Amino acid sequence: MRLFIIFVESNLVWFVMGVAALGLLFPGPGKLIEIAIGPLLALLMLVISLAFDAHEARIV
């Protein structure tokens, strides 16, 4: 899991740019998954929260 998080963190900008480009080029599938946007955002927040160290959060 740790290696996956490191991989996502190091390639996050490219991933976001790729997803945005796909969304602009092919808007149809985005309309089909409109209902899943909320749960997908919640999953994204969970994955991002796993990248933070609890000790660092307590310091802030």
Q: Looking at residue 40, what is its pLDDT?
A: 85
Enter the pTM of the model. 0.45
User: Among 17, 58, 23, 53, which Cα is nearest to 37's?
Assistant: 23
Domains: count for the chain? 1
CA distance 18 to 12: 10
Q: Span 17-34, mean pLDDT?
A: 84
pLDDT exceeds cutoff 70 at 3: yes
- Give the DSSP H or E segment for 16: helix 12-25
Structural domain of 32: 2-59
pLDDT exceeds cutoff 70 at 60: no
